């Protein structure tokens, strides 16, 4: 039996979508409803539904961020769910995509449009490969995330990172940073010699970094490209990175693995 998850913070709209689904697809079982992006990720990873209807604007993580987490953390060997984004206003130009990999619905959802979406989902469920998420879906997701997270105005580039440690403030030139890693409410700033913590969101830092020099390789990791020594792709589509000047390795998620292709 086909299973679905509905992530929608407005209760009436979640009810309505669920009853419309029941009417148009009686065999479909809604196994979970989530009111935040975090809940959606947690329940989807646990229950592994075939379909995820994700409202884009939700409290906590957005539907796009939830999709990003799913694409990165989805277990190997389980078929990746088909994603349908639901939005009241299409500010990210979701419709620019051909809906081959990721579909979308605009609220209020028109029954005819929902029916067409469900027909497509049925066809694609039949043809769905076991794992991992198809590159077409990942490419769409990357484009959507880039559109959603682009700052409204260009921000001044970050040249010196200031990290406070007690009363002492460390100043780290941006060239020396090997990678940034999100850690709860902080970001770890890692150089060849030391690790420091700055209290900010990784997303805010990324907006001020040169995208040619700093590559996002995971939702929580941004690496300075010239410090990446080697990249090794595994079967699940993830890429393991070794670094110059640091002994540890980093993992680039499926979403960003296309950065490493060789020439």
Partner 1 sequence: MTTGFRLIPAGEGHALLRRLGLVLAVSLLVGALVWALGRGQASGWRALVAALVYSLSISVLTWAAIDPMRFMLRGLLRAQPPGYWPPPGRAALLCGLGIAAGYVLGTLAGDAWSGRSTLALLQTDQQRFLGVLALSLAVSFGWLTYFLERGRREALQRTARDARLSLLQSQLEPHMLFNTLANLRALIGADPRRAQQMLDHLIGFLRATLAASRNAEHALGEEFDRLRDYLALMQVRMGPRLQVQLDLSAELAAVAVPPLLLQPLVENAIRHGLEPKPQGGRVEVGARAEAGRLLLRVQDTGVGLTRQAAGTSGFGLVQVRERLAVRYGATARLALEAVPHPAGGTLATISLPLDAPAP
* Positions in the binding site for partner 1 (CB under 8 A): 9-13, 15-16, 35-36, 38, 57, 59-60, 88-89, 91, 106-109, 152, 204
Q: How far is the CB of 108 from partner 1 (least distance, A)?
A: 4
Q: How far is the CB of 106 from partner 1 (least distance, A)?
A: 7
Check if the beta carbon of residue 86 is closer than 8 Å to that of residue 63: yes
Between 89 and 129, CB nearer to partner 1: 89
Between 60 and 79, CB nearer to partner 1: 60
Tokens of 184: 């709860």
Q: How far is the CB of 24 from partner 1 (least distance, A)?
A: 14
Between 91 and 162, CB nearer to partner 1: 91
Between 110 and 249, CB nearer to partner 1: 110
| Per-position DSSP letters for 242-260, written without gaps between them | EESS-SSEEEE-GGGGGG-
Nearest to 108 by CA among 16, 21, 184: 16
Q: How far is the CB of 213 from partner 1 (least distance, A)?
A: 23
186 sits in which H/E element: strand 186-191
Q: How far is the CB of 9 from partner 1 (least distance, A)?
A: 8
Output the CA–CA distances (angstroms, integers) from residue 101 to 51, 98, 114, 125, 133, in the order listed: 12, 8, 16, 11, 9
Tokens of 223: 């690496």
Nearest to 72 by CA among 237, 246, 211: 237
Between 36 and 242, CB nearer to partner 1: 36
> In the chain, what are the helix, strand and coil shares in percent, each to the nearest 5?
35, 30, 35
């Amino acid at each position: 039996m086909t299973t679905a998850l509905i992530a929608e913070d407005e209760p009436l709209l979640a009810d309505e979508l669920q009853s419309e689904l029941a009417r148009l697809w009686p065999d479909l079982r809604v196994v979970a409803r989530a009111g935040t992006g975090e809940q959606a990720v947690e329940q989807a990873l646990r229950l592994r539904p075939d379909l995820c209807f994700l409202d884009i604007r939700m409290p906590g993580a957005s539907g796009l961020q939830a999709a990003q987490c799913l694409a990165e953390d989805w277990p190997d060997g389980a078929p990746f769910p088909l994603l349908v984004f639901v939005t009241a206003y299409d500010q990210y130009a979701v419709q620019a995509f051909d809906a081959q990999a990721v579909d979308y619905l605009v609220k209020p959802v028109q029954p005819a449009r929902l029916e067409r979406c469900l027909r497509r989902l049925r066809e694609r469920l039949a043809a769905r490969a076991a794992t991992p998420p198809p590159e077409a879906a990942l490419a769409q997701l990357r484009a959507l995330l880039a559109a959603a997270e682009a700052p409204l105005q260009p921000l001044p580039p970050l040249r010196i990172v200031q990290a406070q440690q007690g009363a002492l403030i460390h100043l780290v030139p941006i060239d020396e940073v090997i990678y940034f890693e999100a850690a709860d409410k902080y970001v770890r700033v890692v150089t060849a010699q030391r690790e420091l913590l700055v209290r900010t969101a990784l997303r805010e830092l990324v907006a001020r970094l040169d995208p040619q020099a700093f590559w996002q390789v995971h939702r929580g990791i941004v690496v300075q490209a010239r410090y990446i020594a080697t990249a090794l792709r595994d079967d699940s589509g993830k890429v393991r990175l070794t670094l110059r000047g640091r002994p540890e390795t980093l993992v680039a998620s499926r979403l960003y693995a296309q950065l490493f292709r060789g020439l």
